[in-house]
Structure 1
Amino acid sequence: MVFVVALPRTGRGNTALLLFQDHFTGFVITKAMCDTGAFEVTKVFEECAFRHFGAPSLIRHDRDPRFMSEVFQKFSEMMQSRSRATLSYRHPANGQ
């Protein structure tokens, strides 16, 4: 998971994109967001990924504080998913 931030404001007030990518297939899900707090990220993950595909065995993300937050870590535990942060500024660690 990764954020694309500081985008021009849309008509709905969105200024960021949250990207999810399935490591095996490369399938990408994007969600435009205006509020990028930890609780909102957890809600979007549940809505866009968990409801459609179930709980992942591993959630790989960068070291963004929203993904490292207690809220998101507890959500990962609830889904019985491991949460792993990649090395900062190392795109190969994300599989890119």
Structure 2
Amino acid sequence: MDFVFGFPKDVHKNTGILVLVDRFSKMVHLVAVTNSITAQGCARVFIDTIFRLHGLPRELVSDRDPRFTAEFWQSVFCSLGTRLTMSTSDHPETAGQTERDNRVLEEILRGYVHSFTSWSEFLTMAEFAINNLVHASTTHTPFFVNGLRHPRVPAFLECDSSLRGGWTRSNKTRSGPCSSPVDNGVDLMDADVDAMDIDDDDDDDTGIFSIANDCRSEDDDTLTSEDNVF
């Protein structure tokens, strides 16, 4: 969990991004924030972004930003039974995963932001793109490690609409208005087509979790699919 500041102020006065990375699956969540965000604000973002989707992690790793070391932040997670681990100058690797993802995020935004004040509008697509990329350490996408499935993207949607909404799988021929599923040239959702080629029939989650565990440092406790660590 880390902050990236220094962005131009957007229409909502956001100038930074709170980056949250699951150490097990490498899944990333990105939240635009103002530079005046408080410890209480961080806790609210965490509940709305992480707890809502994944529940509480066993451990949180962050730098020593005052918003993470504040008494309120400590007391919130103490009451929830979650351990907060702070990185130190002697062990910078505890936040290394987030720092690497920060660099990837900056590269993605640099390529797609067309206006200095519009960067926050691309965070959703940037997050999807990062989570749909095959991670070098796990050899799978974060989406697949986290949910054992690949998300559907516009380029792979079939064109026949079902009566209940969504799409059917009747054929692979695209025609009519569906012939160009990616609009306005924004193709971040198709950032890594090769990631979709992983065998979807491989439901041996034990193998996936073993790979993810092997990629973690030797001094970490072994995690299971339910033991996400942000």
Taking structure 2 as the reference length, what is the TM-score of the superposition? 0.40
Identity %: 31
Other-structure match for 1:33: 33
Count of residues in correspondence between the two structures: 96
Q: Superposition pairs for residues 7-18 of structure 1, below 5 Å?
A: 7-18=7-18
Distance 1:4 1:61 in 2: 13
Query: Larger radius of gyration, structure 1 or 2?
Result: 2
Q: Secondary structure at the match of 1:94?
A: helix
Q: Deviations over 1:18-49 (max 9, x none)?
A: 01000001100010012421111111001100
Contact 2:19/2:30, CA 8 A, preserved across alignment: yes
**What letter is aligned with 2:33?**
M
Distance 1:14 1:90 in 2: 30
Other-structure match for 1:75: 76
Q: Which structure shows the bigger proportion of residues in helix conformation? A: 2
Q: How much is the aligned-residue C-alpha RMSD, in angstroms?
A: 1.5
Q: Which structure shows the bigger proportion of residues in strand conformation? A: 1
Contact 1:20/1:29, CA 8 A, preserved across alignment: yes
Runs of at least 5 residues in structure 2 that lack an aligned partner in the other structure: 98-230
Contact 2:61/2:94, CA 8 A, preserved across alignment: no
Q: Secondary structure at the match of 1:3?
A: strand
Distance 2:63 2:5 in 1: 14
Other-structure match for 1:65: 66
**What letter is aligned with 1:2?**
D
Runs of at least 5 residues in structure 1 that lack an aligned partner in the other structure: none
